[in-house]
Amino acid sequence: MNFELRDKDLAGRIAKLELRSGTLETPVFFPVVHPFKQSEDLPLEKIVGLGFRQVITNAYIIKKKLESRAARVHEVLNFSGVVMTDSGAYQLLVYGADKVAIDPVELAEYEEVLEPDIAVIVDIPTSDTATRDEARLSVEETLRRAYLSLEVVRRSSDKIAWVLPVQGGIHLDVLKWSALESRKLSEFYDIYAVGSPVRALEKYDFGKVIDMVFTVKSTIPVDKPTHLFGGGHPLLIPFAVAMGIDSFDSASYILYAEGGRYITEYGTLKLSALSYFPCSCSVCSRYEPRDLLDMSKEERVRLLAEHNLSVIAKSVREVKEAIKEGRLWELLERLARSHPAARDAFERLIKYVSWIERLDSRFRGAGRGLFLVEYTSYYRPELVRHRVFLEEYCRHVISSSITKPLLIFPGDIGDKPFIESKIYRRVLEVLREEGEDPDHYVKLVYLPFFDLVPLEISYTYPYSQCEISDASSRKILDKMFRAIAKLVSSTGSSVLVFTCSRYYWSRPDLVKERVCTLADCSKVSFTEIC
């Protein structure tokens, strides 16, 4: 296996994953296919026709059906693309160990015979209802099995990329310990996986899933691909990718279809409640909801499954294009407004933005400017980096320039760069009228989202490459005024603040009231220039 990074945005990345049967571009989704009845669900040729050159199937079911007879999984499926085999852990999770008996070494040896491109060892999934002690036992047993399987993993590593699931579930301290212990096996296992989020995903508890992904991704080696079991909803995929997930698998497309559920990028809908299809895929462009309801259940399920899988494919393509263009954050903002679960996922992701910032690209894909539209935009990694720089600037430049007064003026969000703006030219006119030398001042721009920007860097990205909503929330303005007040309090020099009543956030009364409530304004003078 070879994993080569191509592009990145936030903690998400596009990479080339070279395997024995072919090369995939991540992020990549593996549709779950039943090894012996897939033709009844959604034929493989239909799945391939939707653009999927990779699938995941179940080695335990194959072994049980063939009674351990030797077979190659590609021949069993009659499929030439990339195949990943799961070990039967999902059956363990659903039916319990008393009904599903799987010998970990025996099953790994059978996977070796099957010769998939990617294989998962027999782990013990952590149920979302497990106590902390039960979660720890599942981790200990999974790790024990990972070591037991090492001989098989070593001798087949030239053909098979082996996956090590990291268990612990929603018990994040146990999950962290599991990831730390799993890291010791990075020499042998090619891919890590976040184990057992299936129940949380089924309940749309995306916030917990983001916590689990962060706990694993912030611990395991950054250069290893990471898989998310059960990540089959297009509403979750962009958030998981933004946290560093490289691949997913799920049978959601067929399970939802069997339940009469129609997948959209913002949630699932009941087919029986639809009057129109809000989609233009090959199914939705040929039929109306009533047409499917009038069909036999078998045909209806197939068509619904085809639609559902096409929406998942679209979501993966959309998130990859967002990474290419450096606008993954904007995609998350849009999706976060479409469903409460997505909003919860985004709020949880924001908690980890300092970690995300360290992985985020310093170079934007297609050179697009930032769209700053609501308070979540304040936490973009680019603005996190800006505030770190601003803190250093204020500490080392302003605090050391005791004899130099400060000049602060509003930035015109429609007139950039600020150093060439009409407002700045007006500032210079006022100073000259009063016989002041502009070079005598340390000059900064204030505006929503950025708080403060040193004037001399206003040419650089992203200060001149952004579009800012003129309807900034109170939270954003609070942060801007606090930044100004902190600056006023930290300097021993006089401060000249220009206001412009053309902008509601720069009205003289508002600026003076908000800043002087937070800081001593005895050395501050305010001048209206609009």
CA 187 to chain centre: 27
Tally the C-alpha atoms within 13 A of residue 350's C-alpha that lie toward its C-beta.
Answer: 16
Q: E strands along 44-90, which residues?
A: 54-58, 82-86
Reduced 3-state DSSP string for 94-156: HHCCCCCCCCHHHHHHHHHHHCCCEEECCCCCCCCCCCHHHHHHHHHHHHHHHHHCHHHHHHH
Query: Distance between terminal CA atoms of the chain?
Result: 63
Of the residues 86, 123, 360, 451, which is catalytic?
A: 86
Residue 86 known to be catalytic: yes
Phi, psi of 18 (to 5 degrees): -90, 125
The neighbour count for residue 271, using CB atoms within 10 Å, is 21
- Cα separation, 382 vs 326, in Å, equals 11
Give, in order, the Cα–Cα distances in Å from 278 to each of 86, 313, 341, 524.
34, 16, 21, 57
Helix (H/G/I), strand (E/B), else coil: 526: strand
Give, in order, the Cα–Cα distances in Å from 332 to each of 139, 244, 323, 382, 515.
32, 14, 11, 15, 33
| 64 exposure class (CB count in 10 Å sphere: 0-12, 13-18, 19+) | middle
Q: What is the DSSP letter of 218?
A: T
- Cα separation, 286 vs 295, in Å, equals 14
Phi, psi of 422 (to 5 degrees): -65, -35
CA 370 to chain centre: 18
In sign, the C-alpha dihedral spanning 163, 167, 170, 173 is: negative
- Cα separation, 415 vs 409, in Å, equals 13
User: Active-site residue numbers?
Assistant: 86
